Structure 1
């Protein structure tokens, strides 16, 4: 999978929705920024949580966007690997399959 192309495609699709319902799109973006800003947990830790949730819910786009966010926040490959391992422990085979997608995303997006 080409993660950069996939994220660009999804970004283009969200632009269409932003035009159709700008209030909802703006509200989601504001919530995103508020939830992921540094606080008791760092932005990096929160992005790693988002990667885990993306794996657990099998959301490929979530995995890509939040791996990219985790990288931007300073996450290392080892931190992504440990996040994946925790997902596998909690979610079994499906988490393993989506976890390897997250690792591929990290390798391509760094």
Structure 2
């Protein structure tokens, strides 16, 4: 089972990138604009786009991505059932490694949900 503190990981990533944001403001503005445009409501809802983003994070084995996208999904009102169905597809497409990161995503979900309650 994952021992990641995803809330702490998110905070640490944001703190570590603070100097990069100052050193490379155009890059970070461009990344922010890309993220906002990509995740905006459209033919797919923002929630569905976040589910896709989390699926990519799980299958690419990115703990930071898991933390950020789980947090976003909870803000968008996603349910644990929606999360679990998406994770089933991750396991189908990504096999054993995706199953290991599925456990991490579930732990992140439960920990963040408990902290928000």
The question of a shared fold, defined as TM-score above 0.5 by the shorter chain, is answered with yes
What SS class does the counterpart of residue 77 from structure 2 fall into?
Answer: coil
- 1:76 maps onto 2:83 in alignment: no
Unaligned runs of 5+ in 1: none
What residue number does 1:15 align with? 18
* Cα distance in 2, alignment partners of residues 2 and 58 from structure 1: 16
- 1:28 maps onto 2:31 in alignment: yes
- 1:66 maps onto 2:69 in alignment: yes
What residue number does 2:94 align with? 91
Shift of 1:74: 1.1
Per the normalisation by structure 2, the TM-score is 0.91
Q: CA RMSD in A?
A: 0.8
Tell me the number of residue pairs that the alignment of Structure 1 and Structure 2 aligns.
110
What residue number does 1:50 align with? 53
Shift of 1:14: 1.7
| Runs of 4+ off more than 2 Å | none
* Cα distance in 2, alignment partners of residues 101 and 16 from structure 1: 29
Per the normalisation by structure 1, the TM-score is 0.96
* Cα distance in 1, alignment partners of residues 15 and 56 from structure 2: 23
- 1:108 maps onto 2:103 in alignment: no
What SS class does the counterpart of residue 74 from structure 1 fall into?
Answer: coil
What residue number does 1:5 align with? 8
